[in-house]
Amino acid sequence: MDVLTDNFALYGKGFLGTVELTFFSSLLALLLGFLMASFRVAPIGSFRVFGTVWVTVLRNTPLTLLFFAVLLGLPRFGLVLPFPVFAVLALGCYTSAFICEALRAGINTVPKGQGEAARSLGMSFGQTLGAVVLPQAFRSVIPPIGSTLIALAKNSAIAGAFSVTELLGTYKTLSELGYSIIWTFVWIAVGYLIITLSISALFAVLEKRWGVAR
């Protein structure tokens, strides 16, 4: 317990850093994932191509490499932002590819006849997607989206290697202070467990309320 009690402020700072990274990256991932899923089922060919390229590139790029590209590459083109913002961009964009595919799988479960009926009533593609298709698709993709965001929370540990304050990075300071590496990582693991179980509980509530009965 000494590792935790003696360094509670340090652990707390790292814990809050991971929570913030997870929260803002999740918002960006959900927004981009929804947009890319819309592109992938859009009637416009160029949108479908863009969505496919986005998903293919990001799903097949190691997250560490994406961090290097964003945190070290973008400043070379004149885009200078705080490192936490770059970390949110890297995590959010990477995770959006998986959110997109989860949503697209849900969209494919909605009978085509419903979309055709909506279009026959004069609804545009956007109206059909937003009012008819996505509400039904969302019900079936709550569990995979929850799992994806849990993975995002754990992936945020990579940000510590790029001078971003997060939970895993606390081990460096504690190791230098001579604390037991085993107990240092035990309390780090407890912190991640709190975050992931919170996300799991949230999506369990969403699934219970809106999920498809099985």
Residue pair 27/95 in contact (Cβ under 8 Å)? The answer is: no
Residue 20 has pLDDT above 90, yes or no: yes
Q: Taking residues 41-66, what's their average pLDDT?
A: 92
Q: What is the DSSP letter of 82?
A: -
Q: Over range 118-126, report the average pLDDT.
A: 75
pTM over 0.85, yes/no: yes
Q: Residue 66: pLDDT above 60?
A: yes
Local confidence band at 4 (pLDDT 50, 70, 90 cut-offs) = low
Compute the average pLDDT of residues 33-47: 90
In this prediction, residue 27 carries a pLDDT of 97
Q: How confident is the model at residue 71 (pLDDT cuts 50, 70, 90)?
A: confident
Whether residue 99 contacts residue 30, with contact meaning beta carbons closer than 8 Å, is answered with yes
